[in-house]
A and B are shown apart, each in its own frame.
Chain A
Amino acid sequence: AMEGGPGARIREGDCAVLKRDEVFKAVSVLRRRKIIFEKQWFYLDNAIGHIYGTTFEVTSGGNLQPKQEVEETTTDTKEAGTDNRNIVDDGKSQKLTHDDIKALKDKGIKGQEIVQQLIENSTTFRDKTEFAQDKYIKKKKKKYEAVITIVKPSTRILSTMYYAREPGKINHMRYDTLAQMLTLGNIHAGNKMIVMETCAGLVLGAVMERMGGYGSIIQMYPGGGPVRAATSCFGFPKPFFDNLHEFPLSKVQSLLSGTFSTETLPADPEESALVEEESNGLSEEKQISLQETEEEPATEAPMEINPTEEQDTMDMNAEDGEFKENKEKENKENVREKQIKQWERRKKLKEAAALLREKNADGLIVASKFHPTPLLLSLLEFVAPSRPFVVYCQYKEPLLECYTKLRERGGVINLKLSETWLRNYQVLPDRSHPKLTMSGGGGYLLSGITVVLEKGRPDSSTSEALKVEEPASKRCKLQDLPC
C-alpha cells in the first residue's frame, strides 16, 4: 500500500530533506534542535504537521513560517538599456553598504523589501538590459529571500544530494547512472534481488523503493556489516525490512564450495556499524536509530535457555538486599543477552545462506569500491538464468577486464558497457541554452542477461563468444539504435 506519498505530513522523528534552490541536506526532524542550513539557523518545530513540499521562511527568532503567496511587485518603470558598452564595473554602483544592509536585516525587513532597496540604490540598474535586470533580481532574491522547502526523501532527492555533497561516499555514481541501473536491472515488486554495494546504502534504498516492500533482498557486505546510513533516510516502513537479509562476502567462497558453516561469525556488526557510520548531515540521533534498525531484537527466547532460570531472574525483586548477588545476576544476564544475540545472528546467517543456495535470484546489482570482476564471477552463481545483472564502476578499465572474464566464463549474453551523458538546460524566453557547468563523468555500467551455463563443453564458450561478438565489418552496418 502507498505510504506517505506527496500528501504525507512531516512527523517528528522523520528523516527530511531541506531544499533551497539546488542545495539539499538531510536532517532528522526533532524538536528544539538547532539546524544550520545555507548560512541560516532555525528550529524545525513549526514544520511538524505540515505537508511535505511546503516552503518556509526563517523568522528572526529562528522559527519556520510557511511562506505566503505574495504578489510579485513588478518594477513599474520598465526602464532598461540596450547593451553594456557604457556600464563600468567599478564596484561602486551599489550605494548601500554592508552595514546598511545589515541594519535592514536587523530591523526585520523582509527579503523582498531588501531586494527592492538594492535595486533603488543601484546607479547602474536602469542602464542594464531587461535580461541583465532579470538576472540581477534573481541573484539578489536568491541571497536575501531565503526560502526553504522541506521535501520527502526519495531516490531522486537522495541520489542528487549525495552526488552533490558527498560523491566520494557513493563512488562518484551520478544520479542518472543509478536510474539506469534500476531500469536495466528490471527492479520491481516481487523480485529476489542480490545487492552488493558500498554506497552508504543509497543503492540498497533505491532498490527497496522500487520493490515497494514486495519480494526479498540479500545484501552482500564486506567486513563486519553493511552500512545503511542512506537507507534509513528513505523512511521506509518497518515491514520493508522483514525481507531484507544480509550475507558476508567473506563466506561466499565457502558457500559456493559447500563448506559453509556458521561457526565463525564475522565481527560484531554493531561495532562495525559504529566505526563505519557516516554523518551526511544526519544528526547523532539518526545514527543511533540506524543501529536500532540493524540490531534485531530477540523477541522469542531461544531454545537453549532454561525457561525456569529466566523466571527466577524475573521474580527477584529489589527488596532482596544482596547487592553482590544482583550484580552477579546482571553479569549473567549480559552474557545471556550476548548468547541470544549470537544465536539470532547465526539463525539469520543460515537463512540468508539458504536463500542464496537456491541459486534462483532474479537479479544482481553491484556498485562498490572493489574490483568488480571477482564479485561478478562469484555472485552470478546465485542468479537464475534469463535474469539481468548490472555492475557499476567509477572507472572503465576494470569493466573491460570484467567483460573479458565474463566472456570466458560464458552463461551471459547481451553484454553492454556504457555510460550516460547528462546535460541540464536553462530555459527562458530568448535565453535558452545548456547550463554553464556540467558533470565530467558519472561512472560506467556493465550490464547483461544470464543464460543457462553449460559446463564441461570444451568449445561451447568460445563458439558462444564468436557468435555473440559481431565481426568488425558487420558492426558498421547495424542500423538499430543502441540504447
Chain B
Amino acid sequence: MSFVEYGDTIKDGDTAIVFLGHESMFPVKVQHGTVTQTKYGVIRHSTDLIGKKYGSKVTCSKGGWVFILHPTPELWTMNLPHRTQILYSTDISIITMMLELKPGSIVCESGTGSGSLSHALIRTVAPTGHLYTVEFHQQRAEKAREEFREHGVEHLVTVTNQDVCKNGFGVSNIADAVFLDIPSPWEAIGHAKSALKAEGGRICSFSPCIEQVQRTCLAMEEYGFTEINTLEILLRVYNVRTVSLQIPDLGKAAEDNSSTGFDSSNPSHQGSPCANLQEGTVQFKSGVPLREVVGHTGYLTFATKS
C-alpha cells in the first residue's frame, strides 16, 4: 500500500485507518508484535491485521468489531495529528481542480503546516510529478519529512525549512502551480512568480481575512498575474432521517351527513400514501441539515501567470 497506490492486503509498516463507526476512526501504524487498544478491545497486529484484506472486519478482544481501511489523503485529512489549523477536503478539491493539477505536475506549497494539503497534492501529481513544500517552523518541517517517509511518498516531495517570503521556494521556473497558505501572502507573490514556469502557470492563495485577500490581489496585479478570481466554498452535509409528523386533531365535522368540511376518511385528502387517519402520523424521508456547520474557512484567490 501507499498513499499514492492501492494495495490489497495489510502489510507490516503500513499506515491503516481503523474505523469504529460513524465519524469515529483513527490511524494506526501496522507493526508485528504490537497491539492497539480500542473501546471494543484489543487488536493484535500480527494476527488481526497483517495479511488481512483491506476493508475487512476485525473482531476485537471484547467482542466488538471494527473495519480496517486503506489510507487515502482524504481519510488522512480527517485523522491526522494537528500541528496547525488544516485545510479540509472541500477546499482541497477546488484547489486541485483550479490549479489544473494532474500526474506529472510540479507544485510549490507554503506553509506545509500539518501536511493535510501536501498529502493530497502528492497523490495527484504522482507518479511523475513533484511537490516542493516550504515550512518556516523547524519541528513542523521535520515532522512532515518523517510522515512523508512513513507513508512511502518521500520520493515525490522535498521539504525545505525556510521563510518563503524571504527566500522563496528554493526552485525557479519549473512549477506548474503555486499554493500559498501563509499570514502575508502578498510578500511571497514575487517568489511565486519566479518559481513558476516562464511559459506560465497557476497560483492560489488561501486567507481567512478579506484584508489579506485585498493585499494579495493587489500584489498579484502588480506582478502581472491575470484572471484573478476570489471565491469561497462551503460544505453542506445532510443527515438522512425518517421523520414522522403528527397529524393535528382538528375535531370532527358536524354530526349530520352533509359533509361541507374536511373529510378525513378519504385518503386523497391526506396528501400522502403513508398517512393514517386523522389522528396519526405521516412518515417521510428527509435530508436534514446539521445543526451547526462550518460557516467559513478562508477565501481562495486564483490567478494565472502567462
Q: Are B127 and A386 in contact (CB under 8 A)?
A: no
CA distance A193 to B9 in the complex (A): 19
Chain A positions within 8 Å of B235 at CB level: 418-421, 482-483
Check if A184 sits within 8 Å of B93, measured CB to CB: yes
Least CB distance, B50 to chain A, in whole angstroms: 15
Contacts A420-B234, A422-B233 known; A183 to B92 CB distance under 8 Å? yes
Q: From the candidates A154, A467, A480, name the one contacting B100 in the complex (CB within 8 A).
A: A154
B92 contacts across to A, CB distance below 8 A: 183
The answer to the question of A329 belonging to the interface, with a C-beta cut-off of 8 Å to chain B, is no
Chain A: interface size category: 35 or more
Nearest CB of chain A from residue B175's CB, rounded to whole Å: 10
Instruction: Find chain B residues with CB under 8 A from A214 CB.
Output: 103, 127
Do A478 and B23 touch (CB < 8 A)? yes
Pick the interface stretch among B30-38, B72-80, B135-143, B144-152.
Answer: B72-80
Chain B, range 54-100, C-beta contacts under 8 Å to A: 54-57, 67-70, 72-74, 77-78, 88-90, 92-94, 96-98, 100
A188 touches B214 (CB 8 A): no
Tell me the count of chain B residues lying within 8 A, CB to CB, of chain A.
Answer: 78
- Which B residues are CB-close (under 8 A) to A425? 213, 230-232, 299
Cross-chain contact A449 with B294 (CB below 8 angstroms): no
Min C-beta distance of A174 to chain B, whole Å: 10
CB neighbours (8 Å) of B53 from chain A are 385-386, 452
* Chain A residues whose C-beta falls within 8 Å of the C-beta of B96 in the assembled complex: 179, 182-183
Bitwise interface map of A from 421 to 460 toward B, beta carbon under 8 Å scored 1, else 0: 1111111010010000000000000000111101000000
Interface locus among A39-47, A334-342, A397-405? A397-405
Cα–Cα, bound, A397→B286 (Å): 8
Q: Is the CB of B74 within 8 A of A186?
A: yes
Residues of A within 8 A of B102 (CB): 209-210, 212
Q: Does A156 contact B (CB under 8 A)?
A: yes
Complex formed: what's the CA distance from A54 to B294 in Å? 40
In whole Å, how far is A413's beta carbon from the nearest beta carbon of chain B? 6
Complex CA gap A329/B238 in Å reads: 66
Q: Contact between A190 and B6 (Cβ–Cβ < 8 Å)?
A: yes
B287 contact set on A, CB distance < 8 A = 396, 399-400, 417
Contacts of B233 in A (CB 8 A): 176, 420-423
Are B306 and A54 interface neighbours, CB within 8 A? yes
Contact of B89 among A190, A396, A415, A483 (CB under 8 A): A483
Q: State whether B55 touches A385 (Cβ < 8 A).
A: yes
B70 and A404: CB pair below 8 A?
Answer: no
Q: Cβ of B77: which chain A residues have Cβ within 8 Å of it?
A: 483
Q: Are A385 and B56 in contact (CB under 8 A)?
A: yes
- Is A137 an interface residue, CB under 8 A from the partner? no
B240 touches A417 (CB 8 A): yes
Identify which of B128, B129, B218, B237 contacts A429 (C-beta below 8 A): B218
A39–B72 CA distance with the chains assembled, in angstroms:
48
Nearest B residue (CB) for A206: B97
Instruction: Give A214 to B126 CA distance when docked, in angstroms.
Output: 10
Asked if B197 contacts A5 (CB within 8 A), the reply is yes
* A10-18, A127-135, A307-315, A468-476 - interface stretch: A468-476
User: Is A30 an interface residue when CB atoms closer than 8 A count as contact?
Assistant: no
Q: How far is the CB of A410 from chain B (nearest CB, A)?
A: 11
Q: Are A179 and B93 in contact (CB under 8 A)?
A: yes
From the candidates B4, B197, B200, B299, name the one contacting A188 in the complex (CB within 8 A): B4
Tell me, in angstroms, the Cα distance from A387 to B71 when the chains sit together. 10
- A176 B55 Cβ-Cβ under 8 A: no
Complex-state Cα separation, A386 to B231, whole angstroms? 33
Say yes or no: A385 contacts B240, CB within 8 Å: no
Whole-angstrom distance between the Cβ of A297 and the nearest chain B Cβ: 27
Known contacts A1-B104, A451-B55, A6 near B97 by CB under 8 Å:
no
Q: How far is the CB of A358 from chain B (nearest CB, A)?
A: 12
Interface pairs (14), CB distance under 8 Å: A180-B90, A183-B93, A186-B72, A209-B102, A210-B103, A213-B103, A397-B285, A418-B238, A420-B233, A424-B231, A427-B214, A451-B55, A451-B56, A482-B235
Beyond A5-B176, A7-B198, A475-B290: 16 further Cβ-contacts under 8 Å?
Answer: A51-B200, A176-B233, A179-B98, A183-B89, A186-B72, A188-B124, A191-B6, A214-B127, A396-B238, A421-B235, A427-B214, A450-B55, A451-B19, A452-B57, A480-B23, A483-B90
A residues near B, CB below 8 A? 1-2, 5-7, 51, 53-55, 154-156, 159, 175-176, 178-180, 182-184, 186, 188-191, 209-214, 360, 362, 384-388, 396-397, 399-401, 403-404, 413-427, 429, 432, 449-452, 454, 467-470, 475-476, 478, 480-483
